[in-house]
């Protein structure tokens, strides 16, 4: 039986969206975006400003920004690729909102991320620590995702 694959992603600037679209195409997967109720502006994303929305959210481990309901029935999938940009060496809090509002039990969850300078290691460790009941795979960083790196991740499908 062939596994049913979903690529779910959060992208504030479009970089992660691009990687997610390439991954979905390579994996012959469906694509679903995590959309915040309130879109992020460039001021919200100014990590140099400790009062910016992203800074305030990331400095509060309990922050769970509201997201719109996802457009697919996640229960129908076996494997979920979960994509996000790295913020403060972590997944953005909107990703936590998604995980906590979606039943991912019994799914293989494979994280992927984009980043201007961080590795994916810290964010994956934090997700595994926060959600230990989920079945995580290592995942990888897909900066400037080319066909070779995308194919390598798809080849890791269980």
Residue 134, Cβ density class (10 Å: 0-12 exposed, 13-18 middle, ≥19 buried)? middle
The upper half-sphere exposure of residue 112, i.e. CA atoms within 13 Å in the direction of its Cβ, equals: 30
Q: What is the pTM of this model?
A: 0.94
Name the one residue in this structure whose structure tokens are 């979905």.
Answer: 24
Tell me the pLDDT band of 157, cut-offs 50, 70 and 90: confident
- For the record, the structure tokens of 93 come out as 């809090």
Write out pLDDT tens, residues 43-99: 999 989 999 999 999 999 999 999 999 989 999 999 999 999 999 999 999 999 999
3-state class of 72 per DSSP?
A: coil
Instruction: Look at 147 and 129; give whichever has higher pLDDT.
Output: 129
């Amino acid at each position: 039986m062939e596994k049913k694959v979903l690529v779910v992603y959060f992208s504030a600037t479009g970089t992660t969206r691009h990687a997610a679209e390439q991954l979905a195409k390579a994996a012959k997967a469906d694509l679903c975006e995590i959309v915040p109720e309130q879109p992020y502006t460039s001021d919200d994303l100014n990590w140099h400003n400790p009062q910016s929305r992203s800074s305030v959210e990331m400095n509060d481990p309990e922050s769970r920004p509201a997201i719109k309901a996802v457009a697919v029935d996640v229960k129908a999938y076996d494997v979920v690729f979960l994509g996000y940009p790295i913020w403060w060496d972590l997944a953005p809090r909107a990703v936590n909102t998604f995980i906590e509002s979606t039943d991912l039990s019994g799914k293989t969850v494979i994280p992927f991320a984009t980043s201007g300078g961080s590795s994916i290691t810290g964010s994956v460790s934090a997700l595994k620590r926060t959600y230990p009941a989920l079945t995580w795979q290592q995942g990888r960083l897909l900066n400037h995702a080319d066909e070779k790196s995308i194919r390598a991740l798809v080849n890791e499908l269980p």
